[in-house]
Amino acid sequence: MRHRVPPKHDRKFPRGWFDLFYGKGGIKPVLAGVLLVVLTVVSVLGYQKAARFDREGEMVKATIVRMWIDQDDDGDTYHARFRYVIKGRAYEGRKNVGSKYYRQASVGDIREVRYLPSDPGTFEYYVGEARDNAFFWQMAAGGAGVLALGLMYWIGRRVNRAVLARDRGYLAVATVQSITERKNSGKLTGRGYMRFKTEDGITGETMDRAIGELRRIGKGAKINVYVRNGHAVWEGDVGPRDLDPSRLPKVDR
């Protein structure tokens, strides 16, 4: 087994944990965390609105003046427009309604809605709509939180495995088996990855980078990798092992 070949990268130092975390997609749990915060705020505001309806909401008869369906790849969305009069003034508002409600209603029907006297243009097309909406956003926020934690664990585990392979594994030489450019919605993205195989049969895959850079390395090229517990990482992804003399154990000469 060959121990080292000329490197096919320009990294001079070990890559830090957080740098690797970001490189392996660490922005995804961050975005999921931001989404968690936004959805939590939406949910809290929704519960506050529901509490206002419970405190001061009043019922009024409204006329359904229009009904329609929006259709797309995600399915059908049902809409109804309501008109009601408060103290001689007419108000109109659109609501997304359930499919059952839509099937049972018709234009011209009179339905009771609940409105806010302090803000007459704000209404629920059924009692409890605001609370149900707040609960939906609460569940969505919980889903975003679970997603953020799951991504952090999954990406962090991959980073830990890569760092351990570099710092505690053995150096090996691998051959580039293939170079693949990634696609998004069928279109090439300009970024890709290499698959490689070591001389003792262990396979691995590099992190994404510019496809032109990978093609300059070329299929069949020899690259340096680190291997630990059957997992191999390219030196170009994690950087060379730290060979600072102060970190090496002292031995008798």
**Prediction pTM value:** 0.78
Question: Cβ contacts of residue 163 below 8 Å, gap of 6+?
Answer: 17, 20, 238
pLDDT score for 74: 81
pLDDT of residue 243: 60
89-97, strands of its sheet edge to edge: 89-97, 75-86, 58-72, 110-116, 119-124
Condensed to tens digits (0 to 9), the pLDDT of residues 5-64 reads 999 999 999 999 999 999 999 999 999 999 999 999 999 999 999 999 999 999 999 999
Tracing tokens 């505001």 back to the chain, one arrives at: 45
What single letter denotes the amino acid at residue 11?
R
8 DSSP 8-state letter:
S
